[in-house]
Amino acid sequence: MNEVSLPAARPDGDGPLDGVEPAAGVEPSGGAVPPPRVPRQAGAGPDAAAPRGPGATELLGRAVDAFTGRVLGRHQAAVVRIGFGLVWLAHLLREWPNRRVLYGDRSPWSMELAERLLGDDGAFTVLTWFGGRFWFELVYHLAVLAALGVLLGWRTRASTVLFLVTVLSLQNRDVFLGDGGDNVVHLMAVYLVFTRCAEVWSLDARRARSGRGGRAGAVLWAVLGAVLAVCQFGGFSGTNLSWTGRTFPHLGWAPLFWGLWAVAGLWWVLGRLRPDGEPRAVLDALATMVHNCAMLVIAVEVVLIYATAGWYKVQGSRWQDGTALYYPLHLDYFTPWPGLSALVGSALLPVFLISYGTVMVQVAFPFTLLNRRVKNVLLAVMMLEHAGIAVVLGLPVFSLAMIAADAVFLPTGALLRLAAWASRLAARASRIRTGRIRRRPAP
Amino acid sequence: MTETTDRPARGRAWSKPAQLVLGLAGAALIGVTGLFLAAVFLHVAPANSLSRQYRDEIDGVVYPEFEQNWKLFAPNPLQQNVSVDAQVRTVAPGGATTAREWTGLTARDIAAIRGNPAPSHVDQNLLRRAWDFYDGSHNPQDETPVGSRGKLAEQYLKRIALQRIGREADGERVLEIRFRVTTATVPAPSWSGETAPPAPKVRELPWWPVADEDYRGLLG
């Protein structure tokens, strides 16, 4: 194993935190440069260790090393995974009583209407493969399990693929149902598949640390392969699992699913036969490269969301005259608490400041990424604003999704502190539970 | 997925074939990522010379799964409250028809949202967005559908209302349905000094026939 060269745990820590990987990988002995554009790996030691003025060739070499060999933003990836797993799980559970009307056999957007639209745009959904209630219920509850798997990081690559399939299937069943939150979940469900988002704070990471392999992976792989084969060749999946697409870029979904399945199998076989061999190392480097590209896509996506929102607002007369905030507070569909909304929109100055502040923050955000401290302040402001939107406008799912997406830019140090705090809290909770039997824990 | 992965590349001397594979894959990945991000950027940017030139390619990448709509409150926030009401005409066994009271469909949504910390998509999005869909696919003057999706929007709106109203009223079967949509502009805040907005605009849709198959799957 390659891990022997690194300390297994932080010597100065509180002991191994559950699910928190020591920051070993963050502090490469070679003093690598911070990765470009992706959140900086804080929690690292003093940067003074880095040699001054490396040549261009060396910089390029380091960039290549980082790109091929380092899982950039692993904590951020984990937080995004946990966030979106949680958001979609919460949505599915909240809508559980309404599921048949929203996505199922009782939907006003009848299967017939859906099929006519899908025939037009070719969006992916498995729900049209069979009519009736049983298939729908199966998919919906599979979606719940997939969200749970993503949240916990259980067999994460498989869970994220299932997450992708179920999110797209439900949302594309009726595309006139979603709002911005659904849109973000939809995009992230695709991007997450390509990340190594379970390196920390996941059941997978815990299992890897304990060294127990477990048979579940191989069984899951075989089962998923069989299911995929049945769907592919069963003659009921229509054009959903085609190899090519009608329009540019002419790619269907089959190459992705089969490709992931084949790579997972190859990965396992090589791990068994030649765990230290070069082919496995090449696969590992490829997976890391894909992850790094996916993280870049997620980061740019978040920037684009804010940038477009901001740049288009600049052109709006209501944002210019400083009253924009007032209007959503008086829309019937977005005022679950009319008294609160009226209060927030009651005076000139706060309405003006929040309206102008929102535009400024959104327009400025992409550029603040160049400065760590300013970026963090703006990030906190935006998260708070979304928390406010969750309550005042009655859009908790949308707001949570945006906060989860924002998390890709959170500094690693803050994430580690949060994790340490959460783990202390959990430890205390379990002590309180067992405390009735043993009042004083052994030192 | 299972192991941490900082190590292999660091300090590993790759063989020539491995270098080739990694080099090609890296170049391809960076290329694909760059092109994808460019397509998404051009999709959200205002229509411009570049996006017009490559419109088919951009649409091919972005639709149907990577569509983005981040302009909810831009350039201006929505400033109108739209209320959808529906009225049905029922027929008695003897053949006499009765126009029933208007049902405030939006009013019911609002009632369900009030005081609810987590409003359901059923109340917050279903009817609201179905009306947007109808509005976007119909000529407001004579209610004729524009494009191939207009008919789908009519059917959708009708079925949403029928699900909420039911098959019968006072034991009489529903024969026809029509909609009345009131659009009220939110008045500007008191400190703005703007004049009061015009009176709410009412738009009436024609009677649409209701058949048994319109109810397919709607009622349990």
pLDDT tens sequence across A233-251: 999 998 899 999 888 898 9
Whole-number pLDDT of residue A204: 95
Neighbours of A421 (CB within 10 A): 10
- B105 with B154, same domain: the answer is yes
- Angle at A182 (CA atoms; ends A84, A294), nearest 5 degrees: 50
Q: Which residue of A has its CA nearest to B157?
A: A108
Give me the pLDDT at residue A45, please: 39
Considering only CB atoms, B74 lies closest to which of A6, A296, A313, namely: A313
B12 vs A192, more confident: A192
- Residue B71 within any structural domain of the chain: no
In chain A, pLDDT over 90 holds for what percent of residues? 74
At A216, the pLDDT band (50, 70, 90 cuts) reads confident
Could you tell me if A150 and A214 lie in one domain?
A: yes
Q: How far is B116 from chain A (nearest CA, A)?
A: 6
DSSP A202: S
Radius of gyration of chain B (CA): 27
A93 and A164 in a single domain? The answer is yes
| Of the listed ranges A19-23, A217-221, A327-331, A391-395, the one predicted with least confidence | A19-23
Q: Which residues of chain B have pLDDT under 50?
A: 1-9
* Chain B environment of A401 (Cβ under 8 Å): none
**Own/partner pairs, A15-20, CB within 8 angstroms, 24+ separation:** A16/A209, A17/A419, A17/A420, A17/A423, A18/A206, A18/A423, A18/A426, A19/A200, A19/A201, A19/A202, A19/A205, A19/A206, A19/A419, A19/A423, A20/A200, A20/A201, A20/A416, A20/A419, A20/A420, A20/A423
Q: Does one domain contain both B99 and B56?
A: no
Cβ-proximal residues to A103 (8 Å cutoff; 6+ apart), any chain:
A127, A136, A140, A170, A173, A174, A177
Question: Minimal Cα distance from B33: which residue of A?
Answer: A293
- If asked whether residues A207 and A104 sit together in one domain, one would say yes
* Among candidates A289, A326, A336 on the partner chain, residue whose Cβ is nearest the Cβ of B115: A336
Taking only the tens place, the pLDDT of each residue in A301-343 is 999 999 999 999 999 999 999 999 999 999 999 999 999 999 9
| A279 and A322 both lie in a single domain | no
Distance from CA of B94 to the nearest CA of A (A): 31
Selecting from A267, A285, A324 the residue whose C-beta is nearest the C-beta of B8 gives A285
CA neighbor of A167 nearest in space, from A125, A196, A133:
A125
If asked whether residues A206 and A347 sit together in one domain, one would say no
- With respect to residue B119, please indicate whether it lies within any of the assigned structural domains: yes
For residue B11, the tally of other CB atoms under 10 A from its CB is 12
Q: Look at residue A225 and tell me if it is in a domain.
A: yes
Say if B1 falls within a structural domain. Answer: no
* Sequence-separated (6 or more) residues with CB below 8 Å from residue B36: A297, B61
Residues B56 and B137 in one domain: no
* Cβ-Cβ contacts under 8 Å, A122 against chain B: 64
Task: Assess contact for A24 and A70: CB atoms under 8 A.
Answer: no
Residue A25 predicted with pLDDT over 70: no
Residue of A nearest to B27 (CA): A289
Segment A47-82, tens digit of pLDDT: 444 455 678 888 988 898 899 989 999 999 999 999
**Domain membership flag for residue A106:** yes
Same domain, B55 and B136: no
Cis omega (within 30 of 0) on the bond before B119?
A: no
Q: Is residue A415 part of a domain?
A: no
Q: What is the 3-state secondary structure (H, E, C) of A13-81?
A: CCCCCCCCCCHHHHCCCCCCCCCCCCCCCCCCCCHHHCCCCCCHHHHHHHHHHHHHHCCCCHHHHHHHH
Q: Which residues in chain B have their CB less than 8 angstroms from residue A345's CB?
A: 189
Q: Which of A121, A135, A332, A395 to mutate to test the interface with B (most CBs of B within 10 A)?
A: A332
Are residues B56 and B86 located together in one domain of the fold?
no
What percentage of chain B has pLDDT greater than the value 90?
Answer: 88
Is residue A312 a contact partner of residue A306, using CB atoms and an 8 Å limit? Answer: no
**A157 with B1: Cβ contact below 8 A:** yes
Chain B: give the shortest CA distance to residue A331, in Å: 6
Q: Which of B40, B65, B210 to mutate to test the interface with A (most CBs of A within 10 A)?
A: B65
A363 and A219 inside one domain: no
How many angstroms separate the Cα of A79 from the Cα of each of A92, A130, A412, B165?
20, 35, 10, 44
CB atoms within 10 A of CB A291: 22
pLDDT digits (tens, 9 = 90+) for A120-156: 889 999 999 998 899 999 999 999 999 999 999 999 9
List alpha helices for A99-233, DSSP H: 99-102, 111-121, 133-152, 156-173, 180-192, 203-210, 216-233
| Domain shared by B90 and B196, yes or no | yes
Domain encompassing residue A331? 316-394
pLDDT in tens, B93-109: 999 999 999 999 999 99
Average pLDDT, chain A: 87
Residue A97 lies in a domain: yes
Tens of pLDDT, residues A336-376:
999 999 999 999 999 999 999 999 999 999 999 999 999 99
Residue B52 included in any domain: yes
Helix (H, G, I), strand (E, B) or coil at A124: coil
Residue at B58 is within a domain? yes
Contact between residue A198 and residue A156 where contact means Cβ atoms under 8 Å apart? yes
Do A173 and A101 have their domain in common? yes
In terms of CA atoms, which chain A residue is nearest residue B1? A196
Classify residue A235 as left (phi > 0), alpha (psi -120 to 50) or beta. left
CB contact under 8 A, A101 and B122: yes
Q: Residue B174: in which H helix or E strand, if any?
A: strand B172-185
**Full domain range(s) for residue B21:** 16-62
- A273 shares its domain with A329: no
Instruction: Say if B111 falls within a structural domain.
Output: yes
Pairwise CA distance, residues A292 & A383, whole Å: 24
Question: Omega into B8 within 30° of 0, i.e. cis?
Answer: no
Q: Of B1, B10, B8, give the one whose Cα is nearest residue A274.
A: B8
Q: Among A1, A108, A282, whose Cβ lies nearest the Cβ of B18?
A: A282
Closest-CA residue to A298 (of A184, A219, A205, A167)? A184
Evaluate the omega torsion of the peptide bond into residue B75 and state whether it is cis, within 30 degrees of 0. Answer: yes
Same domain, B108 and B203: yes
In a domain, A12, yes or no: no
Residue A296 and residue A341 in one domain: no
Backbone angles phi, psi at B202, to 5 degrees: -110, 130
- Please, which residues bridge with residue A135 across strands? none
Residue among A99, A101, A155, A392 with most chain B CBs within 10 A, to mutate: A101
Facing A110 at nearest CB: one of B159, B186, B191: B159
Give contacts of B128 with chain A, Cβ < 8 Å. 333
Q: Residue B82, SS3?
A: strand
Chain segment A373-426, per-residue pLDDT in tens: 999 999 999 999 999 999 999 999 999 999 999 999 999 999 999 999 999 999
Tens-place pLDDT, residues B187-201: 999 999 999 999 999
Q: Are residues A299 and A323 in the same domain?
A: no
Flag if B69 and A289 touch (Cβ within 8 Å).
no
Question: B183 and B152, same structural domain?
Answer: yes
Task: Judge whether A294 and A300 are in contact, CB under 8 Å.
Answer: no
Residue B148 lies inside a defined structural domain of this protein: yes
Q: Report pLDDT for A436.
A: 54
Q: Does the structure show a pLDDT above 90 at A90?
A: yes
CA distance A380 to A213: 39
Residue A124 placed within a domain? yes
Confidence label for A215 from pLDDT (cuts 50, 70 and 90) = confident
Q: Which of B9, B63, B192 sits opposite A285 (nearest CB)?
A: B9
Contact B65 A190 (CB under 8 A): yes
pLDDT of residue A55: 85
Contact between A122 and B64 using a beta-carbon 8 Å cutoff: yes
Of A65, A121, A180, the CB nearest to B70: A180
Residue where a domain stops, chosen among A352, A373, A394 = A394
Domain contains B5: no
Domain identity same for A298 and A239: yes
- Listed residue (B97, B106, B88, B82) closest to B178, CA to CA: B88
Positive or negative: CA dihedral A160, A161, A162, A163: positive
Asked if the model's pLDDT at residue A2 lies above 70, the reply is no
CA distances to A67, A196, A286, A336, A400 from B29, in Å: 11, 16, 10, 46, 31
The whole-number pLDDT of residue A50 equals 47
Residue A214 sits in the same domain as residue A97? yes
Q: Are residues B50 and B92 in the same domain?
A: no
Residue B65 and residue A124 in contact, taking contact as beta carbons nearer than 8 Å: yes
Gap between the Cα atoms of A332 and A144, Å rounded: 31
Q: Distances from the Cα of B78 to the Cαs of A328, A420, B125, in angstroms?
A: 7, 43, 15
Closest Cα in chain A to B54? A248
The reply to whether B122 and B188 lie within a common domain is yes
Q: What is the ipTM of this complex?
A: 0.93
Q: How many domains does chain A have?
A: 2
Beta bridge partners of B86: B103, B179
**A333 chain-B contacts, CB cut-off 8 A:** 81, 109-110, 113, 124, 128
Burial class (CB in 10 A: 0-12, 13-18, 19+), B103: middle
In A, minimum Cα distance to B106 occurs at A333
Contact between A7 and A413 under an 8 Å Cβ cutoff? The reply is no
B211 interaction partners in chain A (CB closer than 8 Å) = none
Q: Kind and range of the H or E element at B156? A: helix B150-165
H and E: helices and strands count for chain A: 17, 0
Q: How many CB pairs under 8 A join A and B?
A: 279
CA distances from A125 to A87, A172, A177 (A): 20, 6, 15
Q: Which of A211, A29, A73, A69 is nearest to B8 (CA)?
A: A69
- Kindly report the nearest CA distance between residue A433 and chain B, in angstroms: 31
Separation of alpha carbons A412 and A40, rounded Å: 7
